[in-house]
């Protein structure tokens, strides 16, 4: 009986360790419109410790990341992104952060982009 509990506990630990993926892939919506936004968004994401890869797609507004879940999580990345002025679905940039983006990047006023493939909100 004791060994059963022990082996079950071991399995549980193994499952928890497995859930902490060190190369976790994720995509989420980040608002922006041009190549400058792309650079800013990717730089902000990559500056988060544990983020290994970041690629923001201009027409779809999707940010793809690969991160080490033991070091970071989606919320931390989103926080870094809103801090440089870009809205995500869950978190919005402060007006102060938004005002710091380049005038050509004012995606809230003019949501057109280089690709013309995304829907206007």
Note whether 37 and 82 are within 8 A (CB).
no
Smallest distance, Cu ion to C-beta of residue 38, A: 7
Smallest distance, Cu ion to C-beta of residue 101, A: 7
Does position 66 interact with Cu ion (CB under 5 A)? The reply is no
Does position 77 interact with Cu ion (CB under 5 A)? The reply is no
∠ CA 82-30-66 to the nearest 5 degrees? 95
Does position 105 interact with Cu ion (CB under 5 A)? The reply is yes
For helices 35-46 and 74-83, give the axis angle rounded to 10 degrees. Answer: 130
Does position 37 interact with Cu ion (CB under 5 A)? The reply is yes
Smallest distance, Cu ion to C-beta of residue 18, A: 39
Residue number with CB closer to Cu ion (49 or 102):
102
Strands 51-56 vs 62-67: parallel, antiparallel or unpaired: antiparallel
The residue length of the chain stands at 121
Does position 108 interact with Cu ion (CB under 5 A)? The reply is no
Strands 51-56 vs 24-29: parallel, antiparallel or unpaired: unpaired
Residue number with CB closer to Cu ion (24 or 61):
61
Smallest distance, Cu ion to C-beta of residue 113, A: 9
From first CA to last CA, the distance across the chain in angstroms is: 60
Q: Which residues bind Cu ion (CB under 5 A)?
A: 34, 36-37, 105
């Amino acid at each position: 009986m004791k060994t059963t509990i022990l082996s079950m506990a071991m399995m549980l630990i193994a499952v928890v360790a497995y859930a902490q993926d060190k190369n976790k892939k994720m995509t989420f919506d980040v608002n922006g419109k041009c190549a400058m936004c792309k650079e800013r968004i990717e730089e902000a994401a990559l500056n988060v410790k544990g983020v290994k890869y970041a690629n923001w797609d201009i027409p779809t507004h999707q940010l793809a990341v690969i991160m080490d879940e033991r070091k970071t999580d989606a919320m931390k990345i989103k926080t870094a992104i809103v801090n440089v002025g870009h809205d995500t679905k869950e978190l919005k940039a402060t007006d102060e952060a938004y005002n710091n983006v380049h005038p050509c990047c004012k995606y809230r006023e003019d949501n057109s982009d280089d690709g013309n493939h995304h829907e206007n909100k």
